[in-house]
Structure 1
Amino acid sequence: MVSQQQVKRVVVKPEWLRVKAPQRERIGSVTEILRDLDLNTVCEEASCPNIGECFHAGTATFLIMGPACTRACPYCDIDFEKKPQALDPTEPIRLGEAVGRLKLNHVVITSVNRDDLPDGGASQFQRCIAEVRKISPQTTIEVLIPDLCGNWDALQAILAAEPEVLNHNTETIPRLYRRTRPQGDYGRSLELLRRTRELAPWTYTKSGIMVGLGETDEEVRATMRDLRSVDCDILTIGQYLQPSQKHLGVEEFITPAQFDAWREYGEDLGFLQVVSSPLTRSSYHAEEVRRLMQEYPRAKGVMRSVMSTVQ
């Protein structure tokens, strides 16, 4: 039986998690462009708490190949009950046009899991990157990709398009994978990041962890060490928030002081950047990577192995 104290701990958010509701006039222009071009954003689909701030700044994280997902992660607010549709060949064109119309300096392209596709959707990532390069060559590109079911040829295909940042979220600590990411694999996620560094050393690698699901401080630190062991450059840590009663509940609201302690620990480990706060999400302030590229420049090279054609 759940006590009244436990219910209050989960339901009542602390003051540091309260954000103002987004003002429609501030996000209207971005929303209009997205609707006009029939594009999805993870900002809307995943109920991100920073939507007002990011839309007001004229930034968005595009969600391709969706909105239906082939996995049913119990923490995620993206729809998994709808049947995934065939890839839309016009989606990359529309995305490129949106980046141009929004005049984005940095764009994040992510996707639902498409385990129904042989390459996990790698070819669609390639096409989207190519269209952004065509319309807005000065825009830096970050891709936030799924684990591709361990299809490393598919990973090579995405890297062949030369995104500046390859992001893949670890999401949580190993002990909580079975409950939180039942179709994921912690070792596979680390291997994806390791291979990215090996195949495309000029690419900045990035990962994210959500906390408040029952992990300990040491488990978070151990996961941070694991990420540095595969030379991950950038780390985001944010508070998990329960999207609805049917999703996993929040076990604990982590204090800002603890987030600061993890940031300092990550910096000591050698991450180029650690964004750690209650409202941090994978793409929060993602455009700051442009500053990192100036401070820690990397020359592009030729990949040792790339797919010769886009399927």
Structure 2
Amino acid sequence: MIDKGRLHTVCQEANCPNQFECFSAHTATFLIMGGTCTRNCRFCNIDGGQPGPLDPDEPRRVAQAAADMKLRYVVVTSVTRDDLPDGGAAHFSATIRALKEKITGVQVEVLIPDFQGDRKALETVMAARPEVLNHNMETVARLYPTVRPEADYRRSLDLLARVKQIDSAIPAKSGIMLGLGESEDEVRQAIADIHATGCRMLTIGQYLQPTANHLPVVEFVPPEAFDRWRRVALEIGFDKVASGPFVRSSYHAGEMYSDKQP
């Protein structure tokens, strides 16, 4: 279905370890705006380079594929498109709207880039009324120059804070990876910083090196440590936390969202 619709999934592009489990359960995270990213993060398996033009028919094809797969909860993410004036915000909006028009009652979670801090771009996405607005912090502040050299820790925190300012009815979600050389104090600080933005949904997973050209794994964090970090995040005040070696930002996303409902 994905191939027939000429679509991309982050499951395949990022070489996610959960892709076979998710595909067998008819779950996929759609990757819009092509398979080439304008940034070159050292942890990510998605190709960097100069992307091609946007495909105006892509939102319709994503919605059709989701309908064919009988999805009720759809996660949509993208490559970073710093080459576009709005970072691709209007394309996100069109995809959300296409999904909601095609599938009655569908719930949509978007995992967005930082839009270079552009508040209007974030407002454009949120105006389409996704159920969840996700933006991953990925790692601790000290490691940003190494792990995410073209991103900014404070800029990403500011984006998460703006979600609640723009529309408090849409929950913010974020995620971090462990195993890149961060200290325990730094992890605790990152969790506290994310919580301080008003974000109440958090994922914590193990970094896995996609290829020999990517950052090496500094530590394979044991499962019991992930259990402890889940307890820490809940004690800090998060409503919902998924923490484990194979947890990714969109892994069991629908369950995390529905479990959060009153």
Partners of 2:34 and 2:193 in 1: how far apart?
Answer: 31
**Matching residue of 2:9:** 41
Partners of 2:239 and 2:260 within 8 A in 1: no
Does the 8 Å CA contact 1:105/1:140 hold for their aligned counterparts?
yes
Aligned residue-pair number: 262
Cα distance, 1:217 vs. partner? Answer: 1.2
**Structure 1, residues 235-255: CA drift from partner, whole Å, max 9, x if none?**
000000001110000000001
Asked whether the 8 Å contact 2:99–2:106 carries over to 1, the reply is yes
| RMSD value, Cα | 0.8
Cα distance in 2, alignment partners of residues 233 and 165 from structure 1: 11
Kept after mapping to 2: 8 A contact 1:272/1:292: no
| Cα drift, residue 105 of structure 1 | 1.4
- Pairs within 5 Å for 1:131-150: 131-150=98-117
Which position in structure 2 is the counterpart of 1:124?
Answer: 91
Asked whether 1:59 is paired with 2:21, we answer no
Distance 1:38 1:293 in 2: 34
User: The residue matched to 1:198 in structure 2 has which SS?
Assistant: helix
Which contiguous aligned blocks of 4+ residues in structure 1 show a shift greater than 4 angstroms?
A: none
Structure 2 counterpart of 1:244: 211
TM norm structure 2:
0.98
Q: Which runs of 5+ in 1 are unaligned?
A: 1-32, 296-311
Amino acid at match of 2:231: E
Give, in angstroms, the shift of residue 292 of structure 1.
3.2
Shift of 1:289: 3.4
Q: For 1:1-311, list aligned pairs within 5 A.
A: 33-81=1-49, 83-295=50-262
1:130 Cα deviation from its structure 2 partner: 0.6
Q: TM-score, normalised by structure 1?
A: 0.83
| SS of residue matched to 2:36 | coil
CA displacement 1:162-198 (0-9 Å, x = unmatched)? 1010000000000000000000000000000000111
Query: In terms of Rg, which structure is larger?
Result: 1
Alignment gaps of 5+ in structure 2: none
Deviation at 1:290, TM superposition (A): 4.0
Q: Percent same amino acid at aligned positions? A: 51
